[in-house]
Amino acid sequence: MKNHYTLRWMFFIGGLAILACGVALTIKGQSYGVGSWDVLHVGLYQSLGLTIGTWSILLGLLIIILSAIVLKELPKIGTIMNMALTGLFIDFFNAIIPDVHTAVGQLICFVSGVIILGIGDAIYITANLGAGPRDSLMLIAVERLKLSITVARTAMEFLVAVTGYLIGGPIGLGTVIMVFVLGPVIQISFKYTERFYQYLTKEKVVVVVEEEVKQNV
């Protein structure tokens, strides 16, 4: 059991690292656009300084605090680690991956980034050690506003992208593509990460979803 718990943390941290690498690659190909939240992170970076990863952490921390106030419960350790590690990993990969200036090179970075991001997301989800702060915010909207997950996620992504664009964040066709492509990439990847985890542990992967959230899908 102890070995299984260690393996879960390896999946969790490794998944976040891979996810962050994908984010960094989409940022290198940002002439095609980046994910909605990264539009905001990059916009804040360009307007106020600091780093993209730092803004990811700061906004995640703000969401965690607001979520704790609304839900009247402390966040899970996995949620806090998700917030901190993702931002740190984004800055790390953003620093070591060279900037790309050609259209073809940026396209390769963007496409590979989306795929890698989706795979990393699936790996960390497999560990089931806590949702990221932004996913928690979506679930609050579902529960409190009685919205479906689709409506809550789409509305949140739209508002964040528009806000980021207004302060100088890179938005483009790729931003729209990610809204529709990232989900299927995660879903397909999860089937394989789930099987691999089960092969290693002989245990079934159980990703917990709140019952009231299920009823609003």
Please report the pLDDT score of residue 4 as a whole number. 72
Residue-level pLDDT at 91: 94
Place of tokens 């989306």: 114
HSE-up (13 A, CA, CB side) for residue 211 = 0
Residue 43's nearest CA partner among 178, 160, 179 is: 160
pLDDT at 209: 42
Question: 3-state DSSP helix/strand/coil percent for the chain, to nearest 5?
Answer: 80, 0, 20
The string of pLDDT tens digits covering residues 132-156 is 777 777 767 777 777 766 677 778 8
Residue (of 153, 165, 136, 139) closest to 30 by Cα position: 165
pLDDT at 206: 56
The string of pLDDT tens digits covering residues 34-90 is 888 888 998 999 888 889 899 989 998 998 888 888 777 788 888 888 889 999 999
Residue bearing the bigger pLDDT, 132 or 22: 22
**pLDDT exceeds 70 at position 17:** yes
pLDDT value for 208: 47
Most confident listed range (12-16, 125-129, 134-138): 12-16
Let me know how long the chain is: 217
* 216 band by pLDDT with thresholds 50, 70 and 90: very low
The proportion of the chain whose per-residue pLDDT surpasses 70, expressed as a percent, equals 88
CB contact set of 66 (below 8 Å; sequence gap of 6+): 137
